[in-house]
Structure 1
């Protein structure tokens, strides 16, 4: 920002700053107005290096555009920053864009008198001028997206034809495109907020004051830190985060000293957290009041210190140095771990060992060498451990293992067997230190002298590494060697610091009351065992490696479609193994850490209160002892547990007899089961969710009756997937055997993303007007061992079309298998198939969900084989992936067609597996509705859904790959329009002859927004629940006139004619209780996944959270467009969106949040009424 006379002019950089920290923005305004001296600026070599690389990146993009548009690139100089200079530059820009003198405009100026910006590039396209900005980053950022949104807004406001997208050219050279429909609503909201903040503060009498709650403060930037230090703000206390600070301020606790002196509890701050923060503040006050500044410490948990394993001569102390900006040209895989450094102590003197890597291949070798090194030391010293500080080292090793496809099992074994010891977790749980930060460098005064090395931070190391690369590339060997030695010495000091910290912690343990140090579960002198894997698992690992060797000479970003198919098949071979690993990592992570540090994982319940309902007893002499407990506690993710959930009990160390306690663990899991008998929600104020459970706990074998209560409940085990893995392996082995040819299989065509192949050699026929069933049937009959995709948005009759296609194919004698992620989805299709005319005797499944199945109900799933043998003339069978990949139930290639329903939620890896059951593949679903959920990290995107892989980043299926059902028979046009704009790029339309013939007395069709004021609600809002009840009361009894095609009589709206959804189970319970109390106990309410496929005249969506700072599970979850699409599109006539007006008062923190926010604001802007 700057002044032109008395006129304040802002720019996109101010938009960026306002999105990051409004307090910094108003202080910048103070400096501009002369109210204060300039703001603090710290020299940052890393930022300077980033700026230099950014300039180089912009020049490369300019060269690319110049080559693409020779003689048609016009570059403007920066204008004079005067009113005349900016106005002239703006007018020249618009004249150029309206004319025909250039196809690319560089550094175009936009100026409206109060806002100025200079876009990197504008490129002429058939759709209008495309806004492009070159950003060095490897991925999008919120400020970058706001910036291109600002330039696009300037174009549209000036009436310049503008492309429907804006583009970031990332540091990899790859374009990242973003629809203006998502960017412009956020730009409008943030521009309005910027103007409001600037206007309000310009009218103030003096400079901005810290703790002025009108401005959102980030609490992290230099401006905030300086203000916090000046006022001794409570934010200076280690462990105080902004949400906690807000609650402390509300209770009158403003300074470090206030907190140190506080004795009364603070509302909405847990007692244990409050006590810890008060003790931390007292310790910091002591240090701050000491003229010497001596760092103090105290032991707070001898049990935590006891988790440090007994020192071994084989122990090592490990630290990475990495460069996040390193990338091979053209690759989207950024970051290089250029130094694995560690200290050994087995000779009695610390010795430093290094594994260097200056390119991607050397990084892979360094990983292999490091893992081999650790394995060798474990054989020599079975009780050795790898000590590190914070979790970066473990996360980086896991990332490298997935990136390079090596050492995954070995690192997994290290994690399971507790080889890595995170000293940060020990420090946080075991000691209290009088520093504001618990970074290892802040702890060093406790155990080592001040460092002599010039480098002081990881950022310095990265900058020096860039200088080393430059010296090496220009052939200056002496300078390169000197710089590398600087990094070497810095990393050595980091590793020595880790050793010193471990030794200091052991000393604190020894000086504390006697506590047994953590024992090892491998005996002294016993060699560390090799990775224990089944023969099948070893074979899959070998197959993956063999497949990757086929394409080893090609970099990932240079692969052909065939090579990418090989990479996907290779990744799929271990898909489930990688999906399962995070479950176990989270499980063991919980066992290793105090309950207070458990992350908010789904299915985890922390016990806060417990009552023994029935003590230990046997129901019969043959049964295990058990007891009944009533537990009250917190489901950490906000998702309530139900009696259908499988859980295990976790006990705090040392734990009762029969509960195994591994070395270094804070908790142990009971091997006996826990059954949830009753589950009911109990909500506290402020939206914090608590729940009451009645559980039956079994006594483990070898256990004894005991009084201790579980510390928590955690998710149970995982389902076996042997048959699915075997089918994937068969497919991958076939690909390997036929390489470089690709087998003529549906699964292979899908991986290749090539259009379906037909026996006649023709392209996919266009859909006949009004007869989708005939078109799709004809296409399948001509399909040549390939796939066909059908995307069916809400209400487009996907199941109707599919069932009639299946019925037509059965008449041709086809053997068809219907598969989906859930039994309910499969059984829904089977019921429709019978309605379409297939005799019930030709349709079979073991029934799981349906109460009165119309099909042949098999006694057990294995009866599928017998049914198929008895119906060779054509049949339909239903089963999950477990059924279609089990050769005892369905043989390989047995079917003429495999139908995958809800293929937008069915992973690509599982699709490869079930496709082995048949010659052809029909994919039905919609990736724009509920998504495929994945937990693992995969070297290639086999975790995407099958349809998601085909569609890519587009909202609508490419007509080369299949059919998009573009007409909804459910939603009124006024409701279809916002849904179509939200999720289908405006390509979904309403069958007006049907949807406009419906009416609801006194209710305008379309989307309605109801604003409800409330505060401090995270996942449950009684205020919104009351508004929902009011809406239901208003709807019940109104006259509903269905369409003739519905086959329903006119009637008064009843309880089943309203569907209520909400993102959170806690809000489900709150609304359920409010409805029941009002006498509407038959009105259905649930999360959106419970209603996919359902419809009603009216849908109500309750958002529950009060504001972005209150949101549980993140704003991108709450505002997820797929979930909003499903929720709103349940309605035929009217949908009501119940929300807090503060919900969009958000400075997005991530690109995902920005896109979600933009879609949500745009959706609300298109409502027919807003109240």
Structure 2
């Protein structure tokens, strides 16, 4: 939209529209991405007209400067902030949400001062959200107004102390504790860069500071490894050691770095499992109420008397200097000592401030305990993985080391074979890295309080048990009431309380606040006050096992040797299709795309062939006719994709193509637990063995299923050709895992289709999707 506006302004200046507009995304070479202006002009005119109409029909007093995320970088911030303060605007209340402000304004409680004296308990029920949430922000306003009126700092504990929340998050202090802070720039390259790693620790009773700079990707990896090694060595020396930080940034960065650099993954996992990392922001926010407008480290420092020696203005200037150079390149310039000194001072003081905050929070906890208040600490955990998981980790690590042995660390110095083998090594743990992010998200949600779950719209709070509506054969279904609230919880989703699965939502009425939950055996007698929705990762042992077998073979025989898994290995090596009989990829004269594709697939030998084109170009149509030609020659065909819907569509197109060609003997089957029989498409609902048996017996010669059907070892070379539809949506790891099911692979996809978002962080190359590794060797349909 911004570029479309610039294009319109340019048209007014020069008298004609520009043909193209370009975006320069972050990256190594800053190559522009060009977009045709006319492709977006109609939508731009539509949005512009809506804006103009809205301004004409708007409030005669004009718009109000509601705070938005852009305020932090807006040049009009001071003017807007002055107006909000002059109006005593509700946005000045820490933690208040827009929805709550709207509700309070409807109640003519439109200032912080009015909110501070709003009678409790509430006389009216909010239209959205809960009474408790409104009462919480009312109490926050009260404390802020008290501090403003009395011109002093005010704070009070949030009671009762809830186990695992607030001050109960504080572990027993240890003289070996560390206080961590990282500085990073998310706009460096495609993945951002952590450019300063720092931590403080007690040394002979005094706080000392250690740091490591990282001004490029290799230095980032080394800095990350240095930091993790320091933490692990101190933790091993003293198992009561904890690492304190303020906010979610530090653990998030560690998770991302371990995946992206494929190093120190097991060590970071141990730290996370053992709860070694302690977020002081959550301790403060959940344990205390204070007279601050936001619970940031800088705002709460006056409570424990921390004074900074490095002026924040100087810090911001130095930070901009470093980040601009990191994003645009250093050229021949080196980091000036003056900038280095300021940034190190800023980072050091963040670490020291975290130490001061921890000590002050411990003192607040002690005061409560002395008054007889129970504030239990979290139990210490070992962080050790299960014996079965450790065995898997050791096995994968050993094979990764074998595959990477004697391969240069510099990608530019690798041969094609070395690059392919290195990529295979990184893919061995692809599914574990993806699953880890899902598990980490589950742990994060389990730590959130009710207000935070509401903010993320994944929770149902203030549940009240109504009745058991179905006893069930094994587990019952219970009905609960909840205050109507905006959330994304829906039927068919699993819900959890703490780290335990409560059950599955079988019905929900968001308007009237009623939900029916089918319980698990463990939670039959449990009625949780809050539940949150979370998608636990699916088991991917079959896919990981397939990758391990391919990796083991390549380590023993060579990545480019003839033999098993040749098609999948060709994909890693980005090789063109291997064709017999002198066939070429170039279409023959007057040859239709479907005939070209059929000719090529019949000549394909232990290799991979890609067919690409935009939506509606006929990829699926062509694929269906290729399958018919192969079946006519007695071949067994497999079909896979990310979703059953895509698989079923191709199966039905195969049936239609066979009908058009008057081809008898095409017998299709869909492996789907919840599938329905269709026109000449059988369904294997029982298990994978049913589908494999159908292929062996001849009951079916075209079978479709997800990667869970084609990755297990019994599916090895179960079909002659495996078709992968919408290949741009399947990860390279999943496609390689299913490649073992056939000697020949056919990829069908749109190279311009948006990629499915990844959950985890992966090394360069391992995050790619199947079509990215086809090497452009195939045919395009337009």
Q: Which residue of 2 aligns with 1:630?
A: 479
Using CA pairs under 8 Å that are at least 6 residues apart, name the structure with larger relative contact order, 1 or 2. 2
Q: Which residue of 2 aligns with 1:614?
A: 468
Deviation at 1:419, TM superposition (A): 1.2
Query: Could you report, residue by residue, the CA deviation over 1:867-916 in whole angstroms, capped at 9, with x for unpaired residues?
Result: 444459x933333322212222x22x453211123434322221111112
- Pick the aligned partner of 1:306 from 158, 162, 168: 168
Deviation at 1:821, TM superposition (A): 2.9
Contact 2:129–2:484 (8 Å) recurs in 1: no
Give the distance between the partners of 1:868 and 1:467, measured in 2 at CA: 60
- Pick the aligned partner of 1:231 from 80, 87, 90: 87
- Pick the aligned partner of 1:581 from 436, 444, 449: 436
| Gap change, CA 1:377 and 1:753, over 3 Å in 2 | same
Contact 1:297–1:432 (8 Å) recurs in 2: yes
Deviation at 1:413, TM superposition (A): 2.4
Contact 1:681–1:691 (8 Å) recurs in 2: yes
Q: Which residue of 2 aligns with 1:295?
A: 153
Contact 1:413–1:531 (8 Å) recurs in 2: no
Query: Could you report, residue by residue, the CA deviation over 1:10-35 in whole angstroms, capped at 9, with x for unpaired residues?
Result: xxxxxxxxxxxxxxxxxxxxxxxxxx
Q: Any idea what SS the aligned residue of 1:766 has?
A: coil
Query: Could you report, residue by residue, the CA deviation over 1:989-1025 in whole angstroms, capped at 9, with x for unpaired residues?
Result: xxxxxxxxxxxxxxxxxxxxxxxxxxxxxxxxxxxxx
Q: Which residue of 2 aligns with 1:598?
A: 453
| Gap change, CA 1:916 and 1:636, over 3 Å in 2 | farther
| Gap change, CA 1:148 and 1:735, over 3 Å in 2 | farther
Give the distance between the partners of 1:431 and 1:484, measured in 2 at CA: 36
Give the distance between the partners of 1:576 and 1:638, measured in 2 at CA: 29
Give the distance between the partners of 2:734 and 2:322, measured in 1 at CA: 43
Q: 1:881 and 2:698 equivalent?
A: no
- Pick the aligned partner of 1:779 from 571, 594, 600: 600
Q: 1:728 and 2:533 equivalent?
A: no
Query: Could you report, residue by residue, the CA deviation over 1:354-409 in whole angstroms, capped at 9, with x for unpaired residues?
Result: 33444433332222222122222222322321111011111221222223221122
Give the distance between the partners of 2:569 and 2:435, measured in 1 at CA: 25
Select between 408-417 and 428-437 the one with higher mean Cα deviation: 408-417
Q: Which residue of 1 aligns with 2:627?
A: 806
Give the distance between the partners of 1:612 and 1:223, measured in 2 at CA: 52
Give the distance between the partners of 1:600 and 1:308, measured in 2 at CA: 24
The correspondence of residues 962-973 of structure 1 with structure 2, limited to 5 A, is 962-964=779-781, 966=782
- Pick the aligned partner of 1:698 from 515, 521, 532: 521
Q: Which residue of 1 aligns with 2:507?
A: 679
Contact 1:905–1:933 (8 Å) recurs in 2: no
Contact 1:152–1:166 (8 Å) recurs in 2: no
| Gap change, CA 1:363 and 1:924, over 3 Å in 2 | closer
Q: 1:211 and 2:64 equivalent?
A: yes
Deviation at 1:611, TM superposition (A): 2.7
Structure 2 length as normaliser, TM-score? Answer: 0.83
Deviation at 1:427, TM superposition (A): 1.4
Q: Any idea what SS the aligned residue of 1:916 has?
A: helix
What 5-or-longer segments of structure 1 have no aligned partner? 1-141, 651-666, 685-689, 952-957, 967-1171
| Gap change, CA 1:736 and 1:248, over 3 Å in 2 | farther
Q: Which residue of 2 aligns with 1:975?
A: none
| Gap change, CA 1:564 and 1:633, over 3 Å in 2 | farther
CA RMSD after TM alignment: 4.3
Query: Could you report, residue by residue, the CA deviation over 1:962-986 in whole angstroms, capped at 9, with x for unpaired residues?
Result: 242x5xxxxxxxxxxxxxxxxxxxx
Q: 1:413 and 2:262 equivalent?
A: no
- Pick the aligned partner of 1:922 from 737, 746, 769: 746
- Pick the aligned partner of 2:722 from 895, 898, 906: 898
Q: Any idea what SS the aligned residue of 2:32 has?
A: strand
Q: Which has the higher helix share?
A: 2
Give the distance between the partners of 2:421 and 2:367, measured in 1 at CA: 59
Q: Radius of gyration: which is bigger?
A: 1
Give the distance between the partners of 2:618 and 2:240, measured in 1 at CA: 62
Q: Any idea what SS the aligned residue of 2:580 has?
A: coil
- Pick the aligned partner of 2:30 from 156, 174, 184: 174
Query: Could you report, residue by residue, the CA deviation over 1:661-691 in whole angstroms, capped at 9, with x for unpaired residues?
Result: xxxxxx3425xx6355x4143326xxxxx55
Q: Any idea what SS the aligned residue of 1:727 has?
A: helix
| Gap change, CA 1:309 and 1:613, over 3 Å in 2 | same
Q: Any idea what SS the aligned residue of 2:746 has?
A: strand
Q: Any idea what SS the aligned residue of 2:713 has?
A: coil
Q: Which residue of 2 aligns with 1:354?
A: 211
Select between 813-822 and 559-568 the one with higher mean Cα deviation: 559-568
Q: Which residue of 2 aligns with 1:862?
A: 689
Q: Any idea what SS the aligned residue of 1:724 has?
A: helix
What 5-or-longer segments of structure 2 have no aligned partner? none
Query: Could you report, residue by residue, the CA deviation over 1:21-67 in whole angstroms, capped at 9, with x for unpaired residues?
Result: xxxxxxxxxxxxxxxxxxxxxxxxxxxxxxxxxxxxxxxxxxxxxxx
- Pick the aligned partner of 2:611 from 790, 798, 811: 790
- Pick the aligned partner of 1:452 from 309, 313, 329: 309
- Pick the aligned partner of 1:669 from 481, 497, 500: 500
Contact 2:669–2:681 (8 Å) recurs in 1: yes
Contact 1:319–1:491 (8 Å) recurs in 2: yes
Query: Could you report, residue by residue, the CA deviation over 1:497-532 in whole angstroms, capped at 9, with x for unpaired residues?
Result: 11111122122222224214223244xxxx764796
Give the distance between the partners of 2:579 and 2:522, measured in 1 at CA: 61
Deviation at 1:229, TM superposition (A): 2.1
| Gap change, CA 1:767 and 1:613, over 3 Å in 2 | farther
Q: Any idea what SS the aligned residue of 1:175 has?
A: coil
Contact 1:547–1:570 (8 Å) recurs in 2: yes
Contact 2:129–2:485 (8 Å) recurs in 1: no
